[in-house]
Amino acid sequence: MRVLKFGGTSVADADAIERLVAIVQSRGGARTVVVSALGGITDALLAIADLATIDAVRARAALEGVVARHLEVAASLGSAGAEAVTPMLLGIARGAAHTVDTIAAAGTASPALVDKLAAAGELWSSRLVAAFLADAGLRAQWIDARHVVRTDDRYRQAAPDLTATEDAVRRHVRPALALDRIVVIGGFVGSAPDGSTTTLGRGGSDYSAALLGACLLADEIEIWTDVDGVFSADPRLVAHARVLPALSYENAEILATFGAKVLHPKTIEPAAALDIPVRVLNSRRPSEPGTRIDGAGSAAGGQAAVAARGNITLVRITARDRRPDPAFAARALQALADSHVGVLAGEVHKGTLTVAAEGGVDVAALRTRLGPGADVETREGLSAVCAVGDRLAHDARLVASAFAALDGRHVHLVARPGDATSALAVVVDDRDVHDLLARLHDAFAGELPVAREAVA
Question: What CATH number did the domain enclosing 180 receive?
Answer: 3.40.1160.10
Range of the domain at 389: 305-453
Altogether, the residues listed in the chain come to a count of 456
**Are residues 15 and 156 located together in one domain of the fold?**
yes
**Are residues 213 and 344 located together in one domain of the fold?**
no
Q: How far apart are CA 439 and CA 446, in angstroms?
A: 10
Domain annotation covers residue 242: no
Domain annotation covers residue 277: no
DSSP three-state, residue 282: strand
Mean pLDDT of 405-421: 80
Q: How far apart are CA 131 and CA 142, in angstroms?
A: 9
Give the pLDDT band of residue 297 (cuts 50, 70, 90). low
Domain annotation covers residue 341: yes
**Are residues 204 and 64 located together in one domain of the fold?**
yes
Mean pLDDT of 204-213: 96
Mean pLDDT of 122-129: 98
Greatest C-alpha distance within the chain: 78
What is the per-residue pLDDT for 452? Answer: 38
What is the per-residue pLDDT for 27? Answer: 95
Among 180, 206, 226, the domain boundary falls at 226
What is the per-residue pLDDT for 140? Answer: 97
Domain annotation covers residue 279: no
Among 204, 226, 248, the domain boundary falls at 226
**Are residues 72 and 185 located together in one domain of the fold?**
yes
Between helix 56-74 and helix 111-135 the angle, nearest 10°, is 20
What is the per-residue pLDDT for 97? Answer: 98
pLDDT at 454 over 70: no
pLDDT at 204 over 50: yes
In whole angstroms, how far apart are CA 411 and each of 10, 314, 402, 427?
Answer: 39, 11, 12, 6
Domain annotation covers residue 288: no
Mean pLDDT of 133-153: 97
Q: Residue 226 contacts by C-beta under 8 Å, 6 or more apart in sequence?
A: 7, 9, 10, 282, 283, 284
**Are residues 312 and 220 located together in one domain of the fold?**
no
Residue with more model confidence, 326 or 271: 271
What is the per-residue pLDDT for 386? Answer: 92
pLDDT at 336 over 90: yes
Mean pLDDT of 277-298: 91
Domain annotation covers residue 212: yes
**Are residues 341 and 446 located together in one domain of the fold?**
yes
**Are residues 128 and 221 located together in one domain of the fold?**
yes
What is the per-residue pLDDT for 308? Answer: 94
**Are residues 311 and 441 located together in one domain of the fold?**
yes
Give the pLDDT band of residue 302 (cuts 50, 70, 90). low
**Are residues 212 and 337 located together in one domain of the fold?**
no
Q: How far apart are CA 362 and CA 454, in angstroms?
A: 41
Give the pLDDT band of residue 202 (cuts 50, 70, 90). confident
Q: How far apart are CA 454 and CA 203, in angstroms?
A: 23
- Tens of pLDDT, residue by residue over 152-189, are 999 999 999 999 999 999 999 999 999 999 999 999 99
Mean pLDDT of 202-229: 96
**Are residues 191 and 317 located together in one domain of the fold?**
no
- Tens of pLDDT, residue by residue over 38-50, are 999 999 999 999 9
Nearest to 140 by CA among 81, 91, 68: 81
Q: State the number of CA atoms in the 13 A half-sphere of 442 facing the CB.
A: 12
DSSP three-state, residue 6: strand
Contact between 415 and 392 (Cβ < 8 Å): no
Q: How many domains does one find in the chain? A: 2
What is the per-residue pLDDT for 399? Answer: 73
**Are residues 219 and 85 located together in one domain of the fold?**
yes
What is the per-residue pLDDT for 239? Answer: 85
Mean pLDDT of 204-233: 96
pLDDT at 319 over 50: yes
Domain annotation covers residue 280: no
What is the per-residue pLDDT for 147? Answer: 98
pLDDT at 300 over 60: no
In this prediction, what percent of the chain has a pLDDT beyond 70?
Answer: 96
- Mean of the per-residue pLDDT values for the chain? 91
Q: How far apart are CA 277 and CA 271, in angstroms?
A: 7
Contact between 414 and 204 (Cβ < 8 Å): no
pLDDT at 446 over 70: no
CATH of the domain at 422: 3.30.2130.10
Q: Residue 162 contacts by C-beta under 8 Å, 6 or more apart in sequence?
A: 211, 214, 215, 270
Domain annotation covers residue 381: yes
DSSP three-state, residue 454: coil
Nearest to 216 by CA among 416, 54, 31: 31
Among 226, 261, 286, the domain boundary falls at 226
